[in-house]
Amino acid sequence: MLLNNYETIYILKPDVTDNINLSLVNFYKSFLKERGAKNIVVQHRGRRHLSYNVLHYYDGIYVQMNYQANGELIKFLEKSMRFNDNIVRYLTVRQNYLHSINIY
């Protein structure tokens, strides 16, 4: 099975407690691992000001996840995030590492 490199960034509501934040990070990390994702790296980017008002919030807590997975897993992950009340925005992009190779 072909695994692609993905990066998912999600933004939590600014009033989320540290316990909820940590439990969400652990939930999504195990969610990915149980469904076959590899090399999962989670980075807390901290509280940041949003460029525009999202659901009446002016800042949010950013969390970044990098991992290898198949494309089907992304649908399940984003559906789970869509129905989570603590997440105001999320974005998953496929990383393409061919641009780092010089081809002449």
How far, in Å, CA of 23 to CA of 17, rounded?
10
- Domain containing 32 — which CATH number? 3.30.70.60
CA distance from start to end of the chain: 30
Specify if 86 maps to a domain. Answer: yes
String of DSSP letters for 23-72: HHHHHHHHHHHHTT-EEEEEEEEEEEEEEEEETTEEEEEEEEEEEEE-HH
Specify if 103 maps to a domain. Answer: no
Instruction: Mention every residue, 6+ apart, whose C-beta is less than 8 A from residue 67.
Output: 5, 6, 8, 32, 37, 38, 39, 40, 41
pLDDT computed for residue 104 by the predictor: 44
Q: What string of pLDDT tens digits covers the 104 residues of the chain? A: 678 999 999 999 999 999 999 999 999 999 999 999 999 999 999 999 988 888 889 999 999 999 999 989 999 999 999 999 999 999 999 987 654 444 44
pLDDT computed for residue 97 by the predictor: 62
Residue 72 lies in domain: 4-96
Specify if 13 maps to a domain. Answer: yes
Specify if 102 maps to a domain. Answer: no
pLDDT computed for residue 102 by the predictor: 45
pLDDT computed for residue 43 by the predictor: 94
- Spell out a b/e string for 44-55, using b for 16 or more CB atoms within 10 Å of the CB, else e: eeeeeebeeeee
pLDDT computed for residue 98 by the predictor: 53
pLDDT computed for residue 101 by the predictor: 46
